[in-house]
């Protein structure tokens, strides 16, 4: 879908292959796909996204995804700060 194309275009180049591979792998089963990756906002700012999507087939056999993408940048930054403190 157009939404997916827009989202994939924003994915950080280093994470794009990982996301594509997991999408292709999960097309074979009715599993829920959970993915964390970096995206680049139109402003150029880096953000972390957690995507959770469930795959299903429409009546005509097309593969569709139903899911959400959540900005977890703040969570990631907090985890990084906590990680540095524990060493």
pLDDT score recorded for residue 55: 80
pLDDT score recorded for residue 14: 93
pLDDT score recorded for residue 87: 56
* β-strand partners of 39: 11, 47
Digit-coded pLDDT (tens) for 44-70? 999 999 988 888 788 898 878 888 889
Q: Which of 40, 59, 39 is closest to 49 using CA atoms?
A: 39
Q: Which residues of 2-22 are buried (b: 16+ CB within 10 A; e: fewer)?
A: eeeeebeebbbeebeeebeee
Q: Phi and psi dihedrals of 51, rounded to 5? A: -115, 130
DSSP one-letter code for 87: -
């Amino acid at each position: 879908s157009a939404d997916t194309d827009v989202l994939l275009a924003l994915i950080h180049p280093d994470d794009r292959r990982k996301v594509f591979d997991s999408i292709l792998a999960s097309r074979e089963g009715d599993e829920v796909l959970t993915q964390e990756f970096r995206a680049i906002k139109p402003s150029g700012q880096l953000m972390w996204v957690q995507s959770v999507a469930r795959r299903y087939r429409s009546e005509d056999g097309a593969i569709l995804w139903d899911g959400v993408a959540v900005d977890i940048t703040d969570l990631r930054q907090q985890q990084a700060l906590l990680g540095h403190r524990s060493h």
